[in-house]
Amino acid sequence: MTDTYTRFVSHGPGRDIAKRLGLPQPVALRRYRPGAPLIEGPVLVQGSTSGADSLAAALLAWNLDVRRHAIPKEKLGAIILVLDELARPEDLEHPVLTAATSLRDLAPNARVITVSRTADSAVEPATAAARHGVDGLLRSLAKELRAGATGNGILLAAGADTTSPGTLGALRFFLSGRSAFVDGQFLTVTSGAGQLPDDVEKPLAGKVAVVTGAARGIGAAIARTLYRDGATLILVDIPAAGDHLAAVANEVHGTALQLDISRSDAGQRIIDHAVARHGRLDIVIHNAGITRDKLLANMDAGRWNSVIAVNIAAQLRINDALLASEHFRDSPRIVSVASTSGIAGNRGQTNYAASKGGVIGMVRATVPLIGERGGSINAVAPGFIETEMTARIPFATREIARRLNSLQQGGRPGDVAEAIAFLASDAAGGISGEVLRVCGQNLVGA
């Protein structure tokens, strides 16, 4: 569902009024539908390196309409700007300004994707400068794009190249409607690990996945998305949410496990349930979370402790049990839900932001531990998402909050779920320790 304002300014007199007054003009975003093409229109692969050539060849193998040179006035579905051999900041000029001449030809909901190397893998300061320059370039360009178009970047660490499974997996994600509300973000491919799915419509086929906090909101959307992508599901929520949990579990043909994740035996209960039903466990999505907002000056121990207990201490304890288990060893994947509050901070949310910042710290430190098992761990940080929680924000505050991003609208629970489904898939096996924001590129804060 689009919000009322977006509907008003999308056509007729509403559109004219918004244009004249310089008001935000959000458009309906292109979202993934099974069976829909990956991207509509030609894909321009800009860049003259051998990495650009092999990437273009990989896209041709997906039957995309690939261009190596722009045809003037032709509407483009995407521009992929390959900058994998930058040595000095001056090297940016030619490829970037060449790509710039095609920006006016982007179709609505188009994509601009940079493919470059991580700055910290450079030896020379000039090379690091050129590589990190891509960061500022892409984030600014994403703010200039209009009509639902987004800009995102793929960073190659020393162990990855332009056709590593993680690079191609991230490219598919950014090109498709799965990334509709991801804008101005980077994903780093750290290794050549991972595998593209045999069936692109069922990337999670054969996987057993646990989703916590699945009775409603974002958790229920994650359950539906993982099910659509082929996973077998175990849904966890507190006993008080049992009826809703059972309803979602029925819908996705999964099983319900009524469990407070802050119990000390929660990890073992989850493993036992999965092994008893399916003999294995492949994916765990830590989504359950709570807020108990108060200014820090008015904070009490009850509010502080409950948020820390559910949002981060429970995840740490469950991960300890998972990593000690012989049943979580076959390319296991963990995805945690953080929040942009844990990155940029939010007034009245010191406890929540501490817990969500904690999720980010935990994810990064767990990379080597799960890596030993051939697995990965990542976080997704949602921004303003249209849920029951955000519907309770007073009208004026809510209206400002949902417009203050490059796409000028709130995201949907399904947008968060799409990012999680991608990071839980084997295509993202070479991506670990990342925090992917699903926030439409929030304009305030970090």
What residues are annotated to the active site?
A: 352
Name the residue nearer to ligand NAD (CB basis): 104 or 392.
Answer: 392
Q: Which residue from 162, 173, 174 is spatially nearest to 229, judged by alpha carbons?
A: 173
Cβ 81 to ligand NAD, closest distance in Å? Answer: 30
Contact 415, 383 (CB under 8 A): no
Name the residue nearer to ligand NAD (CB basis): 76 or 218.
Answer: 218
Name the residue nearer to ligand NAD (CB basis): 208 or 310.
Answer: 310
Cβ 422 to ligand NAD, closest distance in Å? Answer: 17
Name the residue nearer to ligand NAD (CB basis): 64 or 338.
Answer: 338
Cβ 353 to ligand NAD, closest distance in Å? Answer: 11
Cβ 263 to ligand NAD, closest distance in Å? Answer: 8
Name the residue nearer to ligand NAD (CB basis): 162 or 336.
Answer: 336
Cβ 320 to ligand NAD, closest distance in Å? Answer: 17
Q: Which positions touch ligand NAD (CB under 6 A)? A: 212-213, 215-219, 236-238, 241, 260-262, 287-290, 310, 337, 339, 382, 384-385, 387-390
Alpha-carbon distances, residue 435 vs 125, 127, 133, 339 (angstroms): 26, 25, 20, 10
- Let me know if 232 is exposed, middle or buried by CB neighbors in 10 A (0-12, 13-18, 19+): buried
Name the residue nearer to ligand NAD (CB basis): 207 or 356.
Answer: 356
Name the residue nearer to ligand NAD (CB basis): 289 or 433.
Answer: 289
Cβ 156 to ligand NAD, closest distance in Å? Answer: 29
Cβ 344 to ligand NAD, closest distance in Å? Answer: 11
Task: Annotate the chain with three-state secondary structure.
Answer: CCCHHHHHCCCHHHHHHHHHHCCCCCCCCCCCCCCCCCCCCCEEEECCCHHHHHHHHHHHHCCCCEECCCCCCCCEEEEEEEECCCCCHHHHHHHHHHHHCCHHHEEEEEEEEEEEECHHHCCCHHHHHHHHHHHHHHHHHHHHCCCCCEEEEEEECCCCCCCCHHHHHHHHHHHCHHHCCCCCCEEEECCCCCCCCCCCCCCCCCCEEEEECCCCHHHHHHHHHHHHCCCEEEEEECHHHHHHHHHHHHHCCCEEEECCCCCCCHHHHHHHHHHHHHCCCCEEEECCCCCCCECHHHCCHHHHHHHHHHHHHHHHHHHHHHHHCCCCCCCCEEEEECCCHHHHCCCCEHHHHHHHHHHHHHHHHHHHHHHCCCCEEEEEEECCECCHHHHCCCHHHHHHHHHCECCCCCECHHHHHHHHHHHCCHHHCCCCCCEEEECCCECCCC
Name the residue nearer to ligand NAD (CB basis): 339 or 350.
Answer: 339
Cβ 337 to ligand NAD, closest distance in Å? Answer: 4
